[in-house]
Amino acid sequence: MGYASEEFQAGSQLMSNAVALMKGNTLSAIAWPRHGPLATLFDMPFLWLGARLKGHLNQGWTASLEPVLFTALLVTLLFVWLRRLTSSGWSYLLALVAGFCTLLWPYAYIGLEVKQSLALLLAGYLGLMNDGKAAWPRVVLFAFSCAVAVSVKASGTFLVPAILFLIACYYWRYSFQGLRRLIPKLLVTVAIILVVYFSNSVLRSLFYIHTGGQGQFFKFWLVSGPTAFLLQVVGYFGSPNKGLIVYAPVVLLSFWAFPRFLKEHSALAIFALLVLGGLVSGHALQKGYTDETWGPRYLHGAIAPLILCIGATRERLRLRTAIPVLVLAALGFWVSFLGAFFWYGVQQRAAIDVSQSTLETLQGDTVWNPILLDERLFSYYLHDGQRFWTPGHIWWFEKPPDAPAVRDVDLAKYAFPQSFLIRFWRVPLHGGLRRLWYFYLACLPIGLLLLVRAGWAQARAEARHLEDGRQTVNG
């Protein structure tokens, strides 16, 4: 979805050129994607595997697994980080909330932003949760995760302050004498980041040649002044169509817990603030601070750091602290379920059909709120409810006689689940597609059993923790 197709195309072209180079054939031109070739390098193992499969199990299928696996890694890493800060039960609950009650679930389908968010969280974990050793493998992994975070998307530039802070934390926690010995590793870290960043930036610029360069492209989208900028900052958090607290309600607790978080975990709090502030302030400079994708997608990378704010300020799972999380998680689950159930582009396609597709409509017109539209689609899909919907507006006070006519939206054109398993539930399939459907069906109970097993293990660990605490008090 989105620009991912450009990256997959570039990956296929790179593999074809590699084969041509080995055979001595002529190389073909490469259509570089808008964010450069770095993201394509992560796609190529999946594309390579898909190129060796036959039938319907091809590159499209293997490429669709990538954001799912990367999102799973992101949630797993978040859980591991939370375990370093708080109890097992609290960590398990918050990891589940992050995975299924925020933007992470829909974007496991959409696929955008996931690589950057994973690299950013890994860089944060390595930089802030250091074990006191700076071995070369860890240094190289830290350097590449930082490089990917600021390079894999053009918006990575907004994360440079956060990455610089991580580098400072990683090396300056040692004494000055120890720092002197770490200068070679520091130089290697900086060199890797700069080489990756500028190499990808140079190749990314080839995509923008037809627009007059990246500078001209950004200038076209620049906001008109500081007032517009501040309004868009507010919209990032509270907009009904694109606000962070609408699409990830649990982050409200992050803001409430932040003063204590800053006091008890200052370095981690500053990192989370730099990530959120960098993404918000950078993207709010553009007229299109969001687009037709699901929710505030440019804040995808801030979700995990904000969840850490909640976990780090509670020592263990208690009912009185879990209830607010569960209430907000229930709201977030419904919103995320709708975002995962339907393709994010139905809002724009429906607006195009009735000649109301403007960027301002998608960003701020509550008549076209994506959640409300998906609720209508879900009602129609589930119950064969009302098929036609009129995106009418309330004229204040009178409707002009020359106002364009409002046409109905045919919900039947868009009420299709994007999940392969659900969409083809009753469709007769044959051959590879049938085997693929059964593979997905088998993944469902296996995944749930693994999830329950992990939850049981965390519950036992939580019980042991409580028992140890009682013995300590009695002793």
pLDDT in tens, 262-301: 898 899 999 999 999 999 999 888 887 788 889 899 999 9
Q: Among the listed ranges 3-12, 19-28, 108-117, 465-474, which one has the minimum average pLDDT value?
A: 465-474
Residue 402 has pLDDT above 80, yes or no: yes
Spatial CA neighbour of 229 closest among 277, 278, 284, 276: 284
d(CA 241, CA 290): 10
Angle of helix 136-151 relative to helix 114-128, nearest 10 degrees?
140
* Number of residues assigned to the chain: 475
What pLDDT is attached to residue 132? 62
Instruction: For residue 7, give both structure tokens.
Output: 């990256």
What pLDDT is attached to residue 291? 80
Question: Is-contact 253 325, C-beta < 8 A?
Answer: yes
When pLDDT is averaged across residues 420-434 and rounded to a whole number, the result is 87
d(CA 433, CA 420): 10
pLDDT in tens, 437-446: 898 999 999 9
Which of 21-25, 35-39, 134-138, 411-415 is predicted most confidently? 411-415
Which DSSP helix (H) or strand (E) runs through 409? Answer: strand 409-410
Q: What is the DSSP letter of 336?
A: H
Q: Among the listed ranges 191-200, 302-311, 314-323, 354-363, which one has the minimum average pLDDT value?
A: 314-323
When pLDDT is averaged across residues 417-422 and rounded to a whole number, the result is 91
d(CA 475, CA 463): 18
Q: How far is CA 189 from CA 128, 192, 195, 274, 427, in A?
A: 15, 5, 10, 20, 53
When pLDDT is averaged across residues 291-314 and rounded to a whole number, the result is 91
Structure confidence at residue 8 as a pLDDT band (50, 70, 90): confident
What average pLDDT is seen over the chain? 87
Q: Among the listed ranges 29-33, 160-164, 433-437, 443-447, which one has the minimum average pLDDT value?
A: 29-33
Omega cis (within 30) before 420: no
Helices marked H in 24-103 — which ranges?
38-51, 59-85, 88-100
Q: Among the listed ranges 90-99, 122-131, 136-145, which one has the minimum average pLDDT value?
A: 122-131
Which DSSP helix (H) or strand (E) runs through 388? Answer: strand 388-389
pLDDT in tens, 65-93: 899 999 999 999 999 999 999 888 899 99
What pLDDT is attached to residue 56? 63
Helices marked H in 86-225 — which ranges?
88-100, 104-110, 114-128, 136-151, 160-172, 176-205, 214-221
Query: How would DSSP label each residue in 215-256?
Result: HHHHHHHB-SSHHHHHHHHHHHHH-TTT-HHHH-TTHHHHHH
Which residues, 6 or more positions from 286, have their beta carbon under 8 angstroms from its beta carbon?
218, 221, 222, 223
Q: What is the DSSP letter of 286?
A: B
d(CA 62, CA 458): 32
What pLDDT is attached to residue 251? 94
Three-state secondary-structure class, residue 205:
helix
What pLDDT is attached to residue 214? 73
Question: Is-contact 88 44, C-beta < 8 A?
Answer: no
d(CA 435, CA 441): 10
pLDDT in tens, 175-217: 556 667 788 888 999 999 999 999 988 888 877 777 667 777 7
Structure confidence at residue 468 as a pLDDT band (50, 70, 90): low
- pLDDT exceeding 70 applies to what percent of the chain? 94
When pLDDT is averaged across residues 398-421 and rounded to a whole number, the result is 90
Q: What is the DSSP letter of 398?
A: -
Where are the chain's structural domains?
Answer: 4-56, 64-341, 346-418, 434-475
Which residues, 6 or more positions from 212, have their beta carbon under 8 angstroms from its beta carbon?
none
Structure confidence at residue 370 as a pLDDT band (50, 70, 90): very high
Structure confidence at residue 372 as a pLDDT band (50, 70, 90): very high
Count other Cβ atoms within 10 Å, centred on residue 175.
9
When pLDDT is averaged across residues 88-99 and rounded to a whole number, the result is 93
Sign of the four-CA dihedral 192, 278, 267, 82: negative
What pLDDT is attached to residue 19? 81
Which DSSP helix (H) or strand (E) runs through 326? Answer: helix 319-341
What pLDDT is attached to residue 200? 87
What pLDDT is attached to residue 340? 95
pLDDT higher at 118 or 319: 118
Structure confidence at residue 467 as a pLDDT band (50, 70, 90): low
Question: Is-contact 350 124, C-beta < 8 A?
Answer: no
Return the amino acid letter for 421: L
Which of 63-67, 153-157, 164-168, 213-217 is predicted most confidently? 164-168
